[in-house]
A and B are shown apart, each in its own frame.
Chain A
């Protein structure tokens, strides 16, 4: 981050210990802000990253040189410019991406106006919000740990801001922040367990949904993000034998519209009003299975192809309405925010779609003008080949798949960036890509050959072995394949990826991304250890997913049930929460009440001494030092009191002598009390 030029601009580093307090606190806060912003860097626009880095370096320089802060107008100007840039890159100021961009900039720019304590507080509150936004992108264990550090740092800076005297150590403030957080942890646990989980309060903005899963749109590169996401999409338990891997296609949105860059679904209107009929014709025996769907925050039900909308087969989910679209994919009427479990029947042998050409198929022939001219020329050449003069779509598809198989195509998750004519580049030049490239190119070529074709997105395959009887499908199993229309038969599935990487389909081994440097080194040195580590890591991650990320209303209610509440509902939850919090408050109040009786040990000791002496008839007052009391003892009790007086003088020497200890040796009090008791009885 620091180039030599930037270093030359930086003032001499005086050493952490010799920094003035103000500078040290500011640098600490900047470090915390930097740490919090870091996870965002991957998805912030480049200019935002650059601006934030620049501003933070500048602020650090100001802190070190003790230079004056820039004028307010300059900061306002930069904020306006940043807003304009945000609108330019994100096309809005609202929404997730634009919001995070603005939040990062505001936070960083606010450091330039760090004058009064009030400014500092604004930074802390923005900071907490920034921590939250990190969870919009990822809720993994690593992110949680990193953000815990952020919260600790922000709280520490907050404590430092409230230590106005001297130069308190950061360690001291950090310890207190950690202690406050630890003390707050029980409250957090109770609230987390019992705060009633409710669905989203209002419709989410467009970009909120597809954190994971299929989004219903396809643009080169979008499935690549899913391909490295190992989180679980759903689990399956089959009633009977498990169908072969190459039959396990779970259908998601079907993409029929292509504008040259992006593939989209047909109008939802056409889909849901069933202007088109699915015309599903199943053959053979059904496959019954139970699906446990993880909350995806989307409407999609990725059911096994093909699941008919029939009484026995269709999914029945309480509280949700399910709907089969004309393109055979299933959705729910609202986003899935809870883990769902339901039973479905599917037929892996089926035909569907119109047998004879209908108007609606026209849309599956459209290609945007001006895009991919070389691929179109390639297709025209194939069509003009006398061998395929009157060939059926099936034969043409075979020829295209043959080209893929023999054309030196490589299946890779890292194909690099593609330009505007992505299909031209892929099909004729680079020939490197994964499922979405193959499916998109296949569909473009088929359409160019005058065969209606479309992309189907979904999941393909499962983990190789079941876990506890469940077959696990992960986000990395996301897949895109194609369908072309064959007169008399309807839509026919064609998976061009299988043509180049049959392994991907038959054994459903998804491509793992390149391991990191450390993993590589470790793998070379001790593969067993690497496997072991990976396994434990996965186990920890699984717990995390299950207990923290997967904790929902269902788990809340089952927790109550285990605690003995019969048929619990959310009112029980609220009552329990209120009860526990009230008890906590009461305990806190009692503790404070008890605490007021706590005293300095020395004062407590003297109090006890005075009480014993008063019983002996000596007028011991709070302002009397032990030696004064000793003199009084000698005067009033004479020789018998000599031992007691000696004890008191010893106490005086301990406290006020050269040792100046706060407390006498253990056993002093016992001797003193015994002596006093002897004098009383004697």
Chain B
């Protein structure tokens, strides 16, 4: 894209305020004839010439009827989008390089709207290959469309510009709107694959202890199931054998401490280090080992569980080297 076009595009997009709710009105719907529309116009011109040359009054009637219907279809196409409200549900964090699902709820205030295509506006994708998601919105109701976009790197990403388009009813015109949602998608660092082995955990006393869980062997301690134990903690093998619920006794595990340290990754590239750390966080959580995270300038004390994992990954996603 040449610089002028890029600037024009940037200026144009800047006209659209950031919002998670986007009501379509005359002010933010664009409409142009499609290629089919131009071919239609050409067909009508040829038909008009034929009517003139053969002096066919019914030919005039037909040509003008089609011209009138085509013209009215412009209003109908525009009206299909007008009065719709697009709403983006808060997007969930994902790992960089994985598709982030975007759930868009389209609400129609009045009439039923057919054939509305939604897509993530991407540069350099030919028009024919855009992966449209088509929905119909019922009258005074709503419909949900699932889009996705792939954050290329870790960090907070603005949801890319979304596009809602329709060619209904005749395909002679396409009306579309560009929407810049205010929400951001958090992308965790892509976990290293295959994951490197976890660094050795230390007993609280300080003695080094190999994590048993990563070897996949029998665990040291089990106890009877107590209310509140997570499903992950249940030792299913023993349940199958004993016929009653048995939970992993994590006292032993919690007595170990695993520090996932930025310095301990032994990789030159900081992004690669973060990827390894992310993989370790996942592995430690899977193994049920309390783990702490140490990044330059950030330290998360050892803990375990969903919120802790999220906090750790979030820290990894947002960490920026000090300048």
Contacts and interface: CB of A to CB of B under 8 A. Distances in A.
B58 A135 contact: yes
A147 B82 contact: no
B287 interface: no
A204 B52 CA distance: 11
A151 interface: yes
A158 B66 CA distance: 13
B115 interface: yes
A587 B107 CA distance: 28
A210 B64 CA distance: 26
Interface in A572-614: 588, 591-593, 595-596, 598-600, 602-603
Give the interface size bracket for B toward A.
Answer: 35 or more
A163 B79 CA distance: 15
Contacts of B69: 155, 180-181, 183-184
Nearest to B70: A184
Contact of A165 (B55, B136, B167): B136
Given A125-B43, A204-B54, A592 B82 contact: yes
Interface string B52-90: 111111111111111111111101101100110000000
Contact of A132 (B50, B73, B168): B50
Contacts of A200: 52-55
B56 A135 contact: yes
Interface residues of A, number: 64
A136 to B, nearest CB: 6
Interface stretch (A190-198, A368-376, A460-468, A646-654): A190-198
Given A184-B70, A592-B26, A598-B83, A176 B55 contact: no
B114 A163 contact: yes
B40 interface: yes
B57 A158 contact: no
Contact of B169 (A159, A166, A199): A159
Interface string A602-637: 110000000000000000000000000000000000
Given A135-B56, A162-B170, A128 B43 contact: yes
A125 B140 CA distance: 35
Given A158-B169, A201-B52, A125 B82 contact: no
Q: Is the interface of B mostly helix, strand, loop or mixed?
A: helix
Nearest to A183: B72
Interface in A69-127: 117-118, 121, 125
Contacts of B148: none
Contact of A144 (B50, B58, B66): B58
Interface string A215-255: 00000000000000000000000000000000000000000
Contacts of A272: none
A666 to B, nearest CB: 19
A639 B57 CA distance: 76
Given A125-B40, A191-B68, A337-B55, A596 B46 contact: no
A187 B39 CA distance: 20
Contacts of A143: 58
Nearest to B169: A159
Contacts of B64: 187-188, 191-192, 195
Nearest to A187: B68
A131 interface: yes
Interface of A: 117-118, 121, 125, 128-129, 131-132, 135-136, 139, 143-144, 147, 151, 155, 158-159, 161-166, 168, 176-177, 180-181, 183-188, 191-192, 195, 198-202, 204, 208, 295, 297, 337, 548-551, 588, 591-593, 595-596, 598-600, 602-603, 662
17 contacts: A131-B62, A132-B47, A132-B56, A135-B62, A147-B58, A163-B114, A165-B134, A168-B114, A181-B65, A184-B70, A184-B72, A195-B60, A199-B55, A200-B55, A208-B53, A548-B61, A599-B83
4 closest cross-chain pairs (CB), A and B:
A184-B68, A187-B68, A184-B69, A600-B109
